Structure 1
Amino acid sequence: MKTNQVVLILVLAGAAGFAASQTSGIRRNVIQKADVSVPGREAVVAKVEVDAGGSSGRHTHPGDEIAYILEGEGELLVDGEDPRRVKAGESYVIPAGTIHDAINSGKTPLRLVGVYVVDKGKPLATPAK
């Protein structure tokens, strides 16, 4: 088996395990993982979809989340901030370790591309207490 096939299998297996641990109504499909210029960090690019009425659940990331909304609308709840309405064509940045939740308040799926610059080897997301 070639190295790139092994890497693809590991990425898919990790994404499947991560997807199973998420709140229902959300799917994150990892598109790519790659090292970045900061030692011990990696970039994870994912396609994220939240069903109508669904939410991501309160969680954190071990690094920054940068997202661009492709379709739909919702509400971004960031601890310590007022709720923020977001819709297709907009973007947002969530700093590392910040507790947040995304709720799809629309009637169609909320689809976005998320880029996470995170600590290598840590879970992409951790449920908040």
Structure 2
Amino acid sequence: MKKTGIIVAAVLIAGSGLTLHVAQSQQPGVKRTDLLRHDLDVSGREVIQVRVDFARGVAFPPHSHPGEEIAYVIEGLLEYRVEGKPPVTLKPGEALFLPAGAIHAARNVGSGNAAELATYIVEKGKPLVVLGLVAPGN
């Protein structure tokens, strides 16, 4: 009975940590919808696709990922700031490649809602989004 209680406590602690990580990656005015997660043939790597919706005027703060990202704009106008590069504004049908670990931010600069399809090729077991980084100096 005591062993069962320890296992239940461990599951609850692990689950609450996952919930905290997901909550921290959600920002007001930004909605992330997980679409796909699949292991790759390369050991320790996976592909993840997420739809990210931005309310008008909203920005996702500086962050990085433990692998590469391809951001494809579905609707609206999104400005991306990547550390060490000039800002770039993309419209629907345009894409941006972000190297592993690149500190970047995205902002809806259009007059309505905006959305992107983010495809990540990342290391398994690491947090997908690392927040709290210094803003790209552009």
TM-score (norm 2): 0.78
Corresponding position: 1:111 with 2:115: yes
Aligned residues: 116
Give the greater-gyration-radius structure (CA).
2
Q: CA deviation at 1:54?
A: 0.6
* Separation (CA, whole Å) in 2 of partners of 1:47 and 1:74: 14
How far 1:23 sits from its partner (Å)? 2.6
Indicate which of 58, 61, 75 corresponds to 2:65. Answer: 61
Structure 1 unpaired stretches of 5+:
1-13
Aligned ranges 1:70-89 → 2 under 5 Å? 70-89=74-93
Q: Which residue of 1 aligns with 2:23?
A: 20
The CA RMSD measured in Å over matched residues stands at 1.7
Matching residue's letter, 1:117: I
Aligned pairs for 1:41-56 within 5 A: 41-56=45-60
Deviation at 1:63, TM superposition (A): 0.4
Q: Structure 1 vs Structure 2: percent identity of aligned residues?
A: 37
d(CA) in 2 for partners of 1:46, 1:18 = 16
CA distance in structure 2 between the partners assigned to 1:121 and 1:19 by the alignment: 14
Q: Unpaired runs of 5+ in structure 2?
A: 1-17
Structure 1 runs of 4+ with >3 Å offset? 16-19
The equivalent residue for 1:11 is none
1:42-73 alpha-carbon deviations (Å, 9 max, x no partner): 10011111111111100000000012111000
Given the superposition, is the C-alpha separation of residues 115 and 57 from structure 1 closer, same or farther in structure 2, using an over 3 Å criterion?
same
SS of aligned partner of 2:60: coil
- Equivalent in the alignment of 2:8: none
